[in-house]
Chain A
Amino acid sequence: MRPDRTELTKIILQTLQELGQDLEKPELQAADENTRLFGARCELDSINLVNFIADIEERISDEFNIHLILANQSAMSRSHSPFRRVSSCIDYVMELIAADSSTHE
């Protein structure tokens, strides 16, 4: 079963908000689609971005049985990182889900 954008947005925001609670960062606890993830003026350092990505992979795997690797070649070679904002991250994960062969099985 493939999630729609609304379901995916909920998962990604929940993941980020929970990370915000762990890190005691109010800005992340109140995250929305415009929240910056990576780059200047963002709330996540590189280690926490890695944790965030791993958590999203795991949740998508657990809830939808879709096994994605978010840090793949296509993400790393883009001129604008898909992890710069929550909204671009959601768009990127939707793209990966659409392209993932396991979702067509």
Chain B
Amino acid sequence: MNKIALITGTRKGIGRGIAEHLLAKDWIIAGCSRRQADIAHKNYHHFCLDVSSEKAAMRMVRTVKKELGPIYALINNAGTASMNHLLLTPTQTCHAIFNTNVMGGFIFMRECAKVMTRQKIGRIINISSVAHPLNLAGEAVYASSKAAVESLTRIAAKELGPHGITVNAIGPTPIDTDLIRTIPKETMDALIQRQAIPRIGKIQDVTNCIDFLLREESEFVSGQTLYLGGIS
């Protein structure tokens, strides 16, 4: 039987890459984003919503469970970033980043974990970033939101472990997506030079980690953040 994964932020970038990767492996994917996605696949189901809307998230999770079946995996990918000096960061930007990156992830974790708890099995994967361990100047709010995601990951792993649910995070390096297109080339080059393996990341680097964490044999791996590019 095809397994079902719920992935947030599937319209483009890493989320879309993960969705297409799992669809190719016969998974059933329920994806979401604010706008319509153009992933054309019989096993792809799209929901238009704001991930920080509790009601919308709850409706999506319940609809997926009712109409598609048990949710085996949640991949909390939806995220937003904004590069700004601390002194020039509007409060509204801070709220927007935390609402999507932290609140959205938290709400989906809670609602999916309610379903997974009854199934006694589940995989939750949160997408973090190397911006947190690298303490990147100009990304104070974004990096802090990812620090919160990692803390949620570790604590959720403890609380959900007894129910057969693993909770892990992946911390990608910069990948050529819309999220980093506005960052100047010199800044990006300097960042990549801080990695043990100095190259820009690929979506396949992330899907490789996703495959590992989704494997049934990975049931004993939880509460971890797997950074790419040799960052620690």
Contact = CB atoms under 8 A, between A and B. Distances in A.
Interface stretch (A28-36, A55-63, A80-88, A89-97): A55-63
A61 B62 contact: yes
A50 interface: yes
A25 B22 CA distance: 42
A58 B65 CA distance: 10
Contacts of A102: 55
Contact of A55 (B54, B66, B118, B163): B118
Interface in B37-56: 54-55
B23 interface: no
16 contacts: A47-B162, A50-B114, A50-B117, A51-B117, A54-B114, A54-B115, A55-B118, A61-B58, A61-B62, A62-B62, A62-B66, A67-B58, A67-B59, A67-B62, A69-B54, A102-B55
Interface of A: 47, 50-51, 54-55, 57-58, 61-62, 67, 69, 102
A55 B62 CA distance: 11
A16 to B, nearest CB: 15
Contacts of B162: 47
A57 B54 contact: no
Nearest to B66: A62
Interface in B176-221: none
Nearest to A50: B117
Given A47-B162, A67-B55, A69-B54, A58 B62 contact: yes
Contacts of B115: 54
Contacts of B117: 50-51, 54
A69 B66 contact: no
B112 to A, nearest CB: 11
A61 B111 CA distance: 13
Contacts of B55: 67, 102
Interface in B20-77: 54-55, 58-59, 62, 65-66
